[in-house]
Structures are given as C-alpha cells and as structure tokens.
Chain A
C-alpha cells in the first residue's frame, strides 16, 4: 500500500504559467527552488521564517511565504512570482504606482509587497486604508515607513476608476 501512495520525487507545477517538472527533496523550500534552481531571484529571502514577507509569491493566486512552502505541496499548483507580473517594459499599474509614489527605496521588500498589493487589488476593488494595512501586514519594509506604499495603492485605485489619478508625486517635501 505504501508504494501506491508514495510520492515520486517529481513535482509538476507551473511557474508564471510555464509548466515545470522538478525533481528533488520533497521538503525543499519553494523559495530555494525559485532562486537557485530556476534563477528567479526577484523573490527575496529576509527572515526565512514567515515573518517578513520578502519571499511572498502567489500560490494558486493566494499570497504565501515561499520560505514556508515545501516542494511536496506544489504538485499541480500554479506559482506566480514577481517576474510573472511585469518587467520594466510592461509594468502593472500597481508597480508603476510604487515607483511614482516613492514606495521603493532599497527594494528588498518590493517584490513581495507588490505581489501582495496586486493580489489585494485583484480581489477588492476599493480597499480602505485599514484594509490595506491589514492585507500588507505580513510584508515588512525597513525603509519607506509604509506611507508611500499605501499612497501607491490609493493611486492605483484612483487611476483605475478613471477619475484622473491624483498627482502621482509623493505629496510631501523630501528631506
């Protein structure tokens, strides 16, 4: 019986829509496979224990910490990383808003934050600030103080409503 349900060491899943067939240690972290085997280094490692969100990817569309997902549980699933969202030539509106609102400084948190923000705006057209803060609470940023990140989301929402985006600048004097 055990042989019948033993998992072969092969995991079939998709990364940014591309089918992948991966072989290796079933408890390997999705984070390491993305970064070191598939070369997708947009996904960052901060804490390695679920606290910082730098490693956020979308698993079947849901934000998760790739440092806490074993390859075993990727079988048949769709993984989306920041590389799948848009490059410099085709930025998603929320990515452009991060840039324009000054929501990016060192950038270590940015891929994770952008993915979480994008997933939120996919689900909820008009989250208020309290809801944004709640959804983004698992993505730590040591640089920006979050204010400009929240503004980036607000700009994205405003632009989407077509009501003319508020000035995309930072809206504050930079020291």
Chain B
C-alpha cells in the first residue's frame, strides 16, 4: 500500500519529497504517471499530491516579474491545459501556448494534464516545450535548498534528464509578455489532429521591425532530438534579415542541418527533417505575407 500525502503548502510538499526515508514521488494530473504505473505494473512507496497546492495554481500578470525586468504571465505548474487554453491572459499575450494546450491529448486529458507535469516528464515530444522555448520562459523551482529561477532553455540535460534536484518541484512558469507586434506561430504534426503525440512540433516567436527586418527570432522544436530544443542555426539565418523567400530557404536549410532526429514508431528521421524544414520555411514566408 502506498502512503499518500496531501500537503497544505508547497513547503510541506518539498519537506516530504526531500525525505529520503519516505521515497515519495509527486503526483499531479497522473496522465503520464498512471499510464506508466499501469504499463510497468509498478507501485509507489509514497505519493505527494500536488493538485491541492494553492502556490501551484492560478495564472496571473506580474509587473517586472521576469529576470529581464518586464512584465510576465506567471502560470502555476499545476494549471491544467484546459485552464491554460481558456485563460484570457494566455489567449491575448501567449496565443501559441493556448494553441498548443488545445492540441494536447483530448478534452479528458486536458482536464487533468498539467503544464508542470508536461515539463517534468521531459518527453522530447511534449507540446508545451517548444512554445516555452520560443517564448523564452523561466521556471521557478522550489526544493529542499530553497527557490531558484532558471531559464527553461537550460532545463533539459539529456533524454528524460532535467536539472530538477531530488525533491525539487516546478512551482511556476514565468513567460515574458512579448512586446506588441511580436509574431507567434505554432504547428504540430501528428497522425491526426487530436490525441496524437507529435512527430514534429514547432513554435516560433519574432518581431518584424518597421524596416522589414526580423529581430528576436526564436524557434523551439520538439520530437526531433533527445530533448526539446532551440534552432539556433535557423534563428541566425533569420536575424536581421528581411522576411522573404531567400531568408526562408536559408532558415529551412539551417534547421534541417542542425537536428538529428531518429526513426521510431511514430515516424522516420528523414520524414521529420523534411517536415521540419518545410515548417520553418512556411513560418518565415508567412511573416513576409503578413502586412506591416
């Protein structure tokens, strides 16, 4: 029989999770955890329920909340994708996050799956990951050693390895509010529109300056590497250049060259590389087509 804990505060949760005697695992929406429990016929010595923690809930605007000093939208890690896709702040300022949330599993899954669980589970195909890379989010981690804020781009260390220390939790996700006029794009390719794990998932964020040049370009991609990652080559190919066919071609070629996808049950490496290049090309061309 597992011992179960329903902590009343984040501090209590962290104290429980930091106790090696107890050997407890955190549980949130259980959409990854219980699938594995079932498949592996495994059980847990102890579990700590995160869903009741007020500190992990809610989505709010915080002035000067980010390391860069600007306003952020701060998302509690136990927010479900249903809550995220319906949230007015997210819809207005982070439309690609709302879009990604709406593609995660189906209604039943979105009602339970949390964004913190999606990141902590660290699947290379997690759909919120490329979006948070493109938006350059930060994570607030809380553990036995206290609180620390880390850029999300440094969170994934290797296949399913993250920089979470034992007993440490993702408490909140801070997303800098993009300056007005920032273009955001999200595209997921799976076997069908809903309830499909991504074969390739791409998010992009950038500004088009009055002179027509692209600035602050960030691409986040999933399912083409052991971890969700930025496409630095494609970003450099766009930075300071006019949106248009030439830039689109360069960015697509750079993206194809910088990823090393694998063949697996969902797709092949060659398909993923080709699709990624096409998505990058299309996103850049769409920027050119946009007025202003």
Contacts and interface: CB of A to CB of B under 8 A. Distances in A.
Contacts of A89: none
A56 B109 CA distance: 10
A48 interface: yes
**Residue from B5, B106, B109 whose CB has the most chain A CB atoms within 10 Å:** B106
A27 interface: yes
B105 A50 contact: yes
Contacts of A138: 105-109, 194-195
B2 to A, nearest CB: 5
Contacts of B3: 6, 26
B112 A68 contact: yes
B36 to A, nearest CB: 9
Interface in A55-100: 56, 59, 62-65, 67-70, 72-73, 75
B4 A137 contact: no
Given A7-B4, A27-B4, A27-B37, A70 B194 contact: no
Contacts of A7: 4-6, 49
Contacts, number: 106
Interface residues of B, number: 39
Contacts of A1: 12, 15
Nearest to A2: B16
A2 B22 contact: yes
B108 A72 contact: no
A73 B30 contact: yes
A6 B4 contact: yes
B109 A26 contact: no
Interface string A1-24: 110011101000000000000000
B148 interface: no
A128 interface: no
Nearest to A137: B194
Nearest to A7: B4
A51 B185 CA distance: 27
Contacts of B67: none
Interface string B1-32: 11111111000100110010010000101110
Contacts of A159: none
B35 interface: yes
B76 to A, nearest CB: 17
B193 interface: yes
A27 B47 contact: yes
Given A137-B195, A138-B195, A53 B108 contact: yes
B98 to A, nearest CB: 14
Interface string A128-166: 000000110111000000000000000000000000000
Given A5-B12, A137-B193, A137-B194, 10 more contacts: A5-B16, A9-B1, A27-B2, A48-B38, A62-B111, A69-B30, A70-B27, A72-B4, A73-B49, A134-B107
8 contacts: A7-B5, A49-B39, A50-B105, A70-B30, A72-B6, A135-B107, A137-B195, A138-B106
Closest 9 interchain pairs by CB?
A: A138-B106, A137-B194, A26-B4, A137-B106, A7-B4, A49-B35, A138-B108, A62-B111, A68-B34
